[in-house]
Amino acid sequence: MILYSLLDRALPRSFLAKVLAVVVLLGQGPMLAVVALYGAGLLSAPLATPAVAAAFGVGLFGTALGLAAILRPVARLEATLAAFERGEAPRLSLPETHGDEVGRLMARAATLIRTTERRIDAAERQADRDPLTGLLNRRGFERALAARRGMRERGALLMLDLDHFKAVNDTHGHDEGDRVLREAASLLCEHMRRPDLAARFGGEEFVVYLSGIGREPALQVAERMRMAVEDRIAVAGRPQTASFGVAQWPVAVPFSEVLKRADAAVYEAKSQGRNCVRFAHVAAARDRVTPARVTLPGAGPSTAERATEDGSTDPEAAPRWRPGQTRGIGEAPDTAREDAPAASPQGGDAAGRDRMMRGAA
């Protein structure tokens, strides 16, 4: 675009004037030079004919080169639009300072591309967000997580499910249920750091990725979130609770596997009384969940437990495990162990023998 920029200084408002200048200077200039030399007597008659032919050829070649050079902005515009159509970044940006017809066309094309890119980005962000809570949805969570895990950092995956949420919607209406979901999302964000990610996976399920964190800190974060939900969200005067599952995430394990383990931990929490935290260990080399003992410091009994201690007989309201006690996923609750048959003098029950054999192995 060198020739175009040079001509733009002399003819800034008209592209047609630039084209005419190229034709006159490069196309007709050699011919006019031959005529001037012949008229001045500097060119003899026998040399006039070959000189005219040479001037014509030079002028034709010069005109072609000049027009190709002055049309370079059009070629750049076409290449930029083609790259944008393919979804690629253009190699060269379009200038927006020229005032002729082609310059204004390049400026408007650049504005159109920027506006379209902003709208596409806004649409993608909207498509990646849950409209009710403002958190990422599953699509947005997996996209953001793929970029984060591409750096091969360790972390933990936390999943939670609001307890008895269907009853909230059925009894108090969907407006009340929506309020609970929004408040739960807000509480999760309060306990997250900047590099962490949170998403609503649908219904009353939420997932949090804790970046660069180990098992014990992840369990402590989950316990703080559990207590915050119970203490600060109420429905008709009764505390709303949530069941949590935490899975450590080794670098080499795919997201689907870790999510499955975290979901299994949530199921374990639900089956053992709700309103508690369970941990699932994800083994990189073996496709199974191993028992892991969990100790969460500094937490008192939940509201449901306090109600049971005060004389409530509602079995659903009272978790069988209190924060501060230890139990890993896969271990039976205390009541189940109390109800287990005693070992026989001859060597115990079959299940006990199996456990002893596995321990010895």
Confidence of residue 60 (pLDDT cuts 50, 70, 90): confident
Give the model's pLDDT for residue 283.
60
Compute the distance between CA of residue 136 and CA of residue 207 in angstroms, rounded to an integer: 10
- Global pTM reads 0.58
pLDDT, tens digit, 9 for 90 and up, residues 215-268? 999 999 999 999 999 999 999 999 999 999 999 888 778 889 999 999 999 999
- Please report, for residues 51, 73, 74, 101, 290, the alpha-carbon distance to residue 22 in angstroms, rounded to integers and kept in the order given: 21, 15, 16, 17, 80
Give the model's pLDDT for residue 151.
61
Torsion of CA 58, 59, 62, 64, to 10 degrees: -120
Helix residue ranges per DSSP H, 128-162: 138-149
Q: 204 an active-site residue?
A: yes
Give the model's pLDDT for residue 232.
96
Radius of gyration of the chain (CA): 38
In the chain, residues under CATH classification 3.30.70.270 are 138-334
> What is the token pair recorded at 28?
């007709």
Reduce the DSSP state of residue 239 to 3 states and report it.
strand
Statement: residue 311 has pLDDT above 50: no
**Element housing 226 (H / E):** helix 215-232
Q: How many CB atoms lie within 10 A of CB 74?
A: 14
Q: Report residue 227: phi and psi, to 5°.
A: -65, -35
Reduce the DSSP state of residue 349 to 3 states and report it.
coil
Statement: residue 173 has pLDDT above 70: yes
Check 183, 204, 331, 338 and give the catalytic one: 204
The CATH T-level fold of domain 138-334 is Alpha-Beta Plaits (3.30.70)
Give the model's pLDDT for residue 149.
67
Compute the distance between CA of residue 355 and CA of residue 353 in angstroms, rounded to an integer: 5
